[in-house]
Amino acid sequence: MNSSLSVSPQSVADRIIVPLDVPTEDAAIALIDTLPEVRFWKVGLELFVSSGPSILDYLKRHQKKIFLDLKLHDIPNTVAGACRAAGRYGVDLLTVHAANGRVGLKAARAAVAEGAERAGVEPPKIIAITVLTSLSARELAFDLKIPLELPEYALQMALLAQESGLSGAVCSPQEVGQLRQICGDDFLLVCPGVRPKGSVLGDQQRSLTPGEAIAGGADRLVIGRPITAASDPAAAFESICQEIAAVV
């Protein structure tokens, strides 16, 4: 278990990132207002393409932490340009694909720092996508023709990110224990695909419960539909906080 974070109610809430997986800024604001207890929100491709950086401004005005999950993947120069632009937003986390390769990852790290310095803000921590949690081992092998077993491939992608100077990685809960053991306590590990007991898995192929993921070494959990689609979202969020508090 990673015990680098305190066990105060505030720090427990900080370990849960709730996605704003909605198509418009108005819908996002409504969700934020419905869950004032949530301290950390994820803005992904759909909402960012729809609303642009104005939703980031709204979150910052309300003292929320921001995970800008754009999963950038392109040639190094293009990824660097996007990271330079994103660096000025003052967000907390930013994702790029580890499959950008060593040159691309190093370019991203340098560019995001440059953009943040120009804007006079703290640079976001860049974390690398290892393997999408929607992918199964069979798809990795047969569709993508990756010759490694899925856990080994996820580990290699995380190590590449670490060696390139990135702050952490995104991985499924089923790989987080191995990554924590090998990458060490200072490497930030964020786990999507987390589902409380009894929840529908949906498109998540490699899931664990929040307590299991935290016990395995995750620093942050991305949990969407079990909270946002619950009949009582605030109660669902509180229940997950209690489950996490019991294992940290």
The 8-class DSSP code of residue 98 comes to G
From 71, 106, 125, 197, the catalytic residue: 71
Give me the half-sphere count of Cα atoms (radius 13 Å) on the Cβ side of residue 90: 15
CB 187 within 8 A of CB 2: no
Q: Which amino acid is at 246?
A: A
Assess whether 197 carries a catalytic annotation: no
Please give the angle made by the CA atoms of 24, 71 and 123, to the nearest 5 degrees: 90
Helix (H, G, I), strand (E, B) or coil at 120: coil
CA distances from 81 to 68, 175, 178, 187, 206 (A): 16, 31, 33, 25, 33
Active centre residues (catalytic): 71
